[in-house]
Amino acid sequence: MTQEVVDDMNTENAGSKQRMVAEEVLKHENPEIVAEVYNFRDLAHATENFNPDLLVGKGGFGRVYKGHLEGKDQDVAVKQLDMIGVQGNSEFLAEVLTLSRVRHPNLVNLIGYCANGHQRLLVYEYMTNGSLEEHIFDLDDDKTPFDWHTRMMLAKGVAKGLEYLHNEADPPIIYRDLKSSNILLDDDMNPKLSDFGLAKFGPKEGEDHISTRVMGTYGHSSPEYAMTGELTTKSDVYSFGVVFLELISGRKVIDHRRPSEEKNLITWAQPLFKDQSKHPMVADPLLNGDYPIKCLHQAIAIAAMCLQEEPNTRPYMSDVVVALDYLAMVQDDHKPSGD
Catalytic residue among 8, 177, 195, 236: 177
Count of C-beta atoms within a 10 Å radius of residue 141: 4
CA distance between the termini of the chain: 62
C-alpha 189: how far from chain center: 15
Alpha helices, H only, 1-71? 4-10, 16-27, 40-46
**Residue 9 near residue 18, CB atoms below 8 Å:** yes
Rounded to whole angstroms, how far apart are CA atoms 212 and 226? 10
Given a contact cutoff of 8 angstroms between Cβ atoms, the answer to whether 289 and 329 are in contact is no
Is 17 annotated to bind a ligand? Reply is no
177 catalytically annotated: yes
Please say whether the beta carbons of 21 and 92 come within 8 A.
yes
Contact 106, 160 (CB under 8 A): yes
- Helix, strand, coil in percent for the chain, rounding step 5: 45, 15, 40
Long-range pairs, 93-96, Cβ under 8 A, ≥24: 93/21, 93/24, 93/25, 94/196, 94/197, 94/198, 94/199, 94/200, 95/122, 95/195, 95/196, 95/197, 95/199, 96/25, 96/35, 96/122
CA–CA separation, 16 and 291 (whole Å): 57
Distance CA 251, CA 230 (A): 28
CA 330 to chain centre: 26
Bind-site residues for ATP: 79
> What are the catalytic residues?
177
